Structure 1
Amino acid sequence: MADSSETKSIPQVHAEEIRRLIHDLGNALEIVLQTSFLLGTVEMDESAKQWRGMLDQGVRQAAQVNSQLRDYLLSHTQS
Structure 2
Amino acid sequence: MSGMTDSNHRSIPALSGDENIPEEHAVEIRRLAHDLSNALEIILQTSYLLSTVELKAPAKDWLEMLDSGVSRALELNLALRTYIKEHTPA
Task: Answer whether TM exceeds 0.5 for this pair.
Answer: yes
Q: Percent identity?
A: 55
Structure 1 vs Structure 2 CA RMSD: 1.7
Scaled by the length of structure 1, the TM-score of the pair is 0.87
Residues 1:30 and 2:24 aligned together: no
Gaps of 5+ in 2: 3-13
User: In the alignment, which residue of structure 2 is the partner of 1:51?
Assistant: 62
Residues 1:62 and 2:73 aligned together: yes
User: In the alignment, which residue of structure 1 is the partner of 2:32?
Assistant: 21
**Quick check: which one's helix share is greater?**
1
User: In the alignment, which residue of structure 2 is the partner of 1:74?
Assistant: 85
Q: 1:18 to 1:42 in 2, by over 3 A?
A: same
Scaled by the length of structure 2, the TM-score of the pair is 0.77
Q: 1:72 to 1:32 in 2, by over 3 A?
A: same
- Name the amino acid aligned to 2:33: I
**Quick check: which one's strand share is greater?**
2
Gaps of 5+ in 1: none
Superposition misfits of 4+ residues, deviation over 6 angstroms:
none
User: Which structure has more RCO (C-alpha within 8 Å, separation ≥ 6)?
Assistant: 1
What CA distance in whole angstroms lies between the structure 2 residues aligned with 1:3 and 1:51?
39
- Name the amino acid aligned to 1:18: I
